[in-house]
Amino acid sequence: MTLKEKVQDALNKVRPSLQADGGDVELVEVNEDGIVKVRLTGACGGCPMSQMTLKMGIERILKQNVPEVQSVESV
């Protein structure tokens, strides 16, 4: 399983809670340094709490499930 596939699997674990609030997350890129770039969409795209969701939610879950992940950035 590639790093990108592992990240996508982990994002699928986060996705239902985002969708429950009218948002979603889209995987844009995973580079070899472990930097994951995602795009928050729907209600998450304009939410003032999106950075907290990104760091405390998405990044935390990804790091737990995919140790190679160093950080998650929104694009």
| Model confidence pLDDT, tens digit, residues 22-52 | 999 999 999 989 999 999 999 988 888 899 9
pLDDT of residue 64: 96
| Three-class secondary structure assignment of 11-68 | HHHHHHHHHHCCEEEEEEEECCCCEEEEEEEECCCCCCCHHHHHHHHHHHHHHHHCCC
The first and second tokens of residue 73, run together, are 């950035």
pLDDT of 3-18, one tens digit each?
Answer: 999 999 999 999 999 9
pLDDT exceeding 90 applies to what percent of the chain?
A: 83
Predicted confidence (pLDDT) at residue 60 exceeds the cutoff of 90? yes
pLDDT of residue 9: 96
Number of structural domains found in the chain: 1
CATH number, domain with residue 19? 3.30.300.130
Domain range spanning residue 35?
3-74
